[in-house]
Amino acid sequence: MVDKDIIFAIVSSTLLILLLIAILVIVFFISGKQRIKQEMEMAEAKLSFERELRQVETEVSEHVMSQFAQEIHDNIGQLLTAMHIQIQNQKLDHPQLAEEFRPTEIYLGEVSQHLRLLSRTLNNDYIGHIGLLGAIQTEVERLRALKRFEVHWLPVKGKSNLGKDQELMVFRIFQELTQNALRHSAAKNLYIEIDTKNGQFELSLRDDGCGFVHEQVQASRKASGLRNIAKRAQLAGLECSISSSPGKGCEFKLKKPATHNGSQKQ
């Protein structure tokens, strides 16, 4: 009888402890899950706030650029036209000065052309109207006119496979990249490629300039442009990659990520 009592006491207390451990493990598991769920909700809220903030930032900068484009078109453009008319009048009044006015007329024509192109590339309505590929074509013409480097670009026909907002973002990224190439690269050639086959989208910009150490630049305060590019790409739901090394130029790729079934996200 005593044997049985001892066995019962020890086995039952052991089982009781086992049960307590099982309960504790379940409680830990549930509390851990709840904590992770809470953390995920907080991270999602933070992400959504950040996304909204970037959206507002983008809208504000687009608005400013549109106003700037309008100002160039309506005000500076009109003044240049007035100057052109004035020169024409002067030429009619003094035909002997026609040859002397010719260089001024040429410069004036170039300035008007540059400003018109600039006004178009800043105007998001215009970009929305002509589409990304047309806007890039306009920007390429503007860059070629600057004669700072040779722009290698074969115009692409058709559509970009991107949404309107994505197109605008891609175009602003493209502008930021070409500005960087103009200001910092000292490149002789700029190669631009766009691949829109099979419903995909990939933009590639490559230069043969001085290049840079990506990690160093990213860590420095100068990288606001690069950070801006990354932010815009993220906001547009695109993948971007930069590869560069000193003396070997720089290559930037912007890509629409593939979905699981092999097609790409819109």
Question: Which residues lie near other proteins (CB under 8 A)?
Answer: 2-3, 6-7, 9-11, 13-14, 17-18, 20-21, 24-25, 28-29, 31-33, 35-36
Residue 100 vs 239, nearer CB to other proteins: 239
Query: From the CB of 6, what's the least distance to other proteins, in Å?
Result: 6
Bridge partners of residue 203, in order along the sequence: 194, 254
Residue 29 vs 49, nearer CB to other proteins: 29
**Phi, psi (deg, nearest 5) at residue 191:** -105, 125
Q: Could you give the angle at the alpha carbon of 59 between the alpha carbons of 78 and 226, nearest 5°?
A: 100
Query: How far apart are the two ends of the chain, measured CA to CA in Å?
Result: 78
Query: From the CB of 7, what's the least distance to other proteins, in Å?
Result: 7
Residue 29 vs 107, nearer CB to other proteins: 29
Query: From the CB of 224, what's the least distance to other proteins, in Å?
Result: 25
Residue 13 vs 216, nearer CB to other proteins: 13
Tell me which residue of 250, 252, 254 sits closest to 236, measured CA to CA.
Answer: 254
Query: From the CB of 21, what's the least distance to other proteins, in Å?
Result: 6
Residue 18 vs 213, nearer CB to other proteins: 18
Query: From the CB of 27, what's the least distance to other proteins, in Å?
Result: 9
Provide Rg for the chain, Cα atoms. 31
- Give CA–CA dist 66/124, Å, rounded: 6
134: left (phi over 0), alpha (psi -120 to 50) or beta: alpha
